[in-house]
Structure 1
Amino acid sequence: MHVVIVAEFAAASGGAEKVAVESARALAEAGAEVTYIQAVAGPADPLLAHPRLRRIGLDLPDVWSLPALRGALGGIWNGEAAARLASVLDALPQPPDCLHLHQFTRALSPAVLPVLLGRAVPLVLTLHDYALACPNGVYYRFDRAEPCALRPMSGACLAAACDPKSRLHKAVRLGRAAALRIAVGRARLEVVHVCDGSLKRMDAIAGGYRLRHHRIDNPVRVARQAPAEPARGDAAVYVGRLTVEKGADLVAEAARRAGLPALFVGAGPLEARLRAQGAEVLGWTSPAELETILRSRARVVCAPSRWDETGPLTVYEALAQGIPVVASRRSGAAEKVRDGVGGYVVEPEVDALAGALSALKDDGTTARFGRAAYDAYWRAPLTLSAHARALLALYGRLVDEHNMRQCETELSTPASIVAP
C-alpha cells in the first residue's frame, strides 16, 4: 500500500507534528510505501529517513511569519498551496492508495481540501484539535478562561471575543472556518479521533459536515525498560507549551503550595512569569534528554489543561516509564490515567492540583502509583507497531469500500452501443 501523509511540518514542534512523523515512520516499518509531504520549509526529523519513506517539500511559508494582510489572506485560502500540492501529487511515480491529512491551519489552508477530496482515493483526516468545527481551533473561550459552550459559527460564536490574540484575528479565523465549510461541501470526511472525548465532542459540534468517525490512539515511541523510580524524583514536571490554556501556571502555584519544585520542559508566553515564580524552565529538549529528565527528576508529571485537549502525548510517555500522572479531567489523555491508582484525575484548579501533588509527597504512595501506572500501560501499550496496524486496517477498509463503489458505478452504467 502507498500512503501519502500531508502535514505542515516535518519536525516535532508540537504534538500534531510529532504524531504525523512517528505515524509515517511506523507505517514504513510496517511495510507500507510512504510519501510524506511537508508544507512549510524547514528541518526534517531523522525518523523520516527510511528506505520506504520519501519526503517531499512544498516550500511554503508559515502564514504567521508573513506580513499581516498577506498572512491573513493565506490563512483563509492559499491558492499557491493547493497548486503546489496538486503538482506534487500528479508527479508521484506511484499513485497513492490513501491520503492522510494531519494539519492545514499554518500554511496549507482549506484550499487543499478540494485537491485531496478530488483524488480518486480515500482521504483520512486526523483531528488533533477542533479546527474542523471551531474557528480558534481549541473550542475554548480565551476571554473567560473556560471551555466554550457555543455552537461553532452560530451568531453567538461570531460575536464572542474568544480569540487568544484579538478580534481581528478572530475575524480571520472566522473567514478560514467559512472557507473550510465551502471547501468540504457535502463530501463525507473520514476523521480519526485520538481520544474518546474528542469523538463525543466533535460529533456534537460539527454541524454542517458529514463525518464518519474512527478511533485510533496516538503512537508512543518509548522502548520498554525497567520502570523508573519516581519516589526518588524531586519535582513536579510539566512538558509542553507554556500557556494558560494548557495550565502551566497552575503547576507552578500548585507545586509551591505542595512544597515541591516545579520543573518545566518547553517554551511559550508564560516562560518569564514561571521563572519569576521560582520555577525551573529548561526549554525544549530532545526525546532522549526528556527521557533522562523524567527518569531522574520526575516525581509526578502534570497535565492540567483548561481546554478539552485531545492529548497530550507526555501523559502516555510518563505512564510508560512508570511515573504517576496528575491530569485534568478535560485532557483526553486522562482517559488512560487510573484515578487513585496510577495517578489522579482532577479539575484544572490550583487547590485540586495542589492536593494531588501533596499526596504524592509520600514515597510509598508515589512508588505504588508509579508501578501501577507502568503495569497498566504495558498491558495495552500504545506502540508504533500497534498504531500502524490500526491505520493500515482503516486504510484497507476504506480502499475496499472505494473499489466496491467504483464497481457498482461501472455495473450500473449502460455499455456503449457501437453501430456496425
Structure 2
Amino acid sequence: MSDVLKIESNRRLYANVDLTDVHEFSDSEIEKVLSFQKTHEAYKETPLKSLDAMAEHLNVSKVYVKDESYRFGLNAFKVMGGIYSIACCLAEKLQLPIEKLSFDMLKTGEVKKELGDLTFISATDGNHGRGIAWVARELGLKSVIRMPKGSSLKRLAAIRAEGADAEICDVNYDETVRLCEQIARKNDYLMIQDTAWPGYEKIPLWIMQGYAAIAKEISEQIPEPPTHIFLQAGVGSYAGGIAAYFLHKYPDAPPKIVLVEPDQADCYFQSFAREDGAMQSVGGDMATIMAGLACGEPNHTAFEILSRYTYGAVSCPDEVTALGMRIYGNPLYGDPQVVSGESGAVTMGVLYLLCTEVSLENGRKELGINESSRILLISTEGDTDPQSYREIVWKGGYPNLKRDLRGELNVG
C-alpha cells in the first residue's frame, strides 16, 4: 500500500487539441443522447448539490457534487452509457436513426420480432453490468455478465436479480474483458463494453457519449462554470466523455480536469509519469476497495482525449476514498448528505487532503486551487454494497492515514 498521495502533472496538456477531434461530444450531439435517455419513464435528472460549508472549510469558492446514486433507481451512473449504447446497437440493426426511436418503441412486439433473440455480454465490477442487465431485462432480451476475481457478492446478487446469467471469474478485470470477448465471438453475442481497443471502438464511443449526458445535465444545473473537475479514471471512458463535453462547452476557458485513481490500478498516473506520456497498463490483481476503478488498461479512445486535456492524475491508497465516504456521509452543518460508495467518494477524499494538508501545498498550487476555485465532483455511485459501506462509514474501516502524509508532485 502506498504511503503517499502522489500527483503527476500532464506533460502533454493541450497538445494538438482540435475540437473536431471530439465533435461527437458537442452540445448538439449530446443533446440527442440525453433526448433518447429521457424517453425511458424512469429517467430523472440527478441532483447537483452545493456543499457551501465545505467550500468555506476548504477555502475555495464553491464545491458542487453531482449525486448519481439516484440514477434510474440503480444507485450508480453506469446505466447512462448502457442504455444509450444498447439503443444505438438496436437502431443500427433496425436501420433507423436513434432520433427516430424511443425506449418504448424498442419494447414493442413488432420491433422485438424484427430484432430476434439477442443476448448482450459484458465484463464488470458491478455497476456497468447491472446497468446492462437492467436494460436487457427492460427490453425483454438476455444478458451474460462476468465479474473479475474478488468482486462483491452483493453486487453479483444485484445483477442476477435483473435476470442476467452472471458469474465471478478467477481473473482480473482486463482478463475478464478478454474472456467476454471470446464468449461473444463463440456465441454471436453483442458485447457492450466501455473500454476500446483496435477494431472495437464504436460501442465504447456510444457509451462515452451516454456518460457525457451527465455533463450536459450539470451544465444546465450549475450557476456558473466550474474551474476544476475531479474525475475518477478507471479505463477512462466516463472521465473522457465528461472532459470532452466540457471542452466543447467552454472552449475559451475549459475547467481543469484532474484524474483520480487507486494506487493499485493507476494506469493514467503511470502514463503521465513517463517522459513521453505514452499509454501504460497496470497488471496483477489490482486489489482495491474502489472496485469500479480497478482497471489496468486504458480505453485508448479516452486516453487520446485525457492525455491532451488533463492537468494531472492523482494516485491514492484506499484510506483516501474511505475518508471521502465519511465526509460525504457526515457533512458539515448546513450541507446536504451524500451516500457515496467506494468508487464514488475518492475525489472528495483527494480534494479534502489537497486543501487541508500543508505537505500538499505544492500540489494544490500546481493545480491552481485557491479561494476563487469552483470545484465540481461527481459521486458516481451510492452504497452499492451496503455491508461494505457500513463497515467503512459506521465502523471506521480503512481508518484515516495516521502516518505523516507526504505529498509528491512531479512536474513535467
TM-score, scaled to structure 2: 0.29
TM-score, scaled to structure 1: 0.28
> Which of structures 1 and 2 has the bigger CA Rg?
1
